[in-house]
């Protein structure tokens, strides 16, 4: 059964960014915030709480439907898979995703969650979880 990342307890987030650093370290071999597929941010300062933005594993992903080049295709279990070589950085996918889970790195390539679960392993406050998905 495939797994996917889930934001299980958003209100437990302390804003440490360990998850973001884990994602970029593991999947982009860099220390960075913009290479991370998960995005922790404040809106209105730290006093107003934290937003956790990550792919919600759509079964019929609108980002993939919007992609004009076929670079994004549905992933087994939800979410999408990116074929780098097909992407022309048009950013249409980003607009199709309401949670705004797709953003772009310094080379203007989309940063796409691969549902690997690394971020959850480095979250010490049980905000993130990997769960098994029903769909095959």
Whole-angstrom distance, CA of residue 27 vs CA of residue 61 = 22
Q: Cα 118 vs. chain centroid, distance in angstroms?
A: 11
Smallest separation (angstroms) from ligand SF4 to the CB of 18 = 4
Whole-angstrom distance, CA of residue 123 vs CA of residue 133 = 21
CB nearer to ligand SF4: give 112 or 136. 112
For residue 84, the number of C-alpha atoms closer than 13 Å in the C-beta half-sphere is: 6
CB nearer to ligand SF4: give 107 or 136. 107
Whole-angstrom distance, CA of residue 96 vs CA of residue 92 = 7
Q: Which of 3, 6, 9, 25 binds other proteins (CB under 8 A)?
A: 25
Q: Which of 56, 103, 129, 131 binds ligand SF4 (CB under 6 A)?
A: 56
Smallest separation (angstroms) from other proteins to the CB of 18 = 5
Q: Which of 32, 46, 107, 116 binds ligand SF4 (CB under 6 A)?
A: 116
Query: Using an 8 Å Cβ cutoff, are 55 and 115 in contact?
Result: yes
Give the x-and-dash track for 77-96 against other proteins (CB under 8 A): --------------------
Residues at the contact surface with ligand SF4, assessed by CB under 6 A:
5, 13-19, 22-23, 27, 37-38, 40, 52, 54-56, 58, 61-63, 66-67, 69, 71-72, 79-80, 87-93, 97, 99, 101-102, 110, 113-119, 123, 125, 127-128
């Amino acid at each position: 059964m495939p797994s996917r990342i889930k934001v299980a307890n958003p209100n437990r987030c302390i804003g440490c960014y360990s998850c973001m650093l884990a994602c970029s370290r593991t999947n982009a071999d860099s220390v960075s915030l913009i290479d991370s597929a998960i995005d922790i941010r404040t809106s209105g300062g730290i006093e107003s709480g934290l937003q956790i933005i990550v792919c919600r594993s759509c079964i019929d992903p609108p980002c993939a439907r919007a992609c004009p080049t076929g670079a994004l295709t549905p992933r087994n279990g939800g979410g999408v898979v990116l074929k780098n070589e097909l992407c022309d950085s048009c950013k249409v996918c980003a607009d199709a995703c309401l949670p705004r889970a797709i953003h772009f790195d310094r080379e203007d390539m989309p940063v796409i969650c691969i549902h690997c679960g690394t971020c959850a392993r480095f979250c010490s406050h049980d905000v993130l979880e990997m769960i098994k998905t029903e769909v095959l």
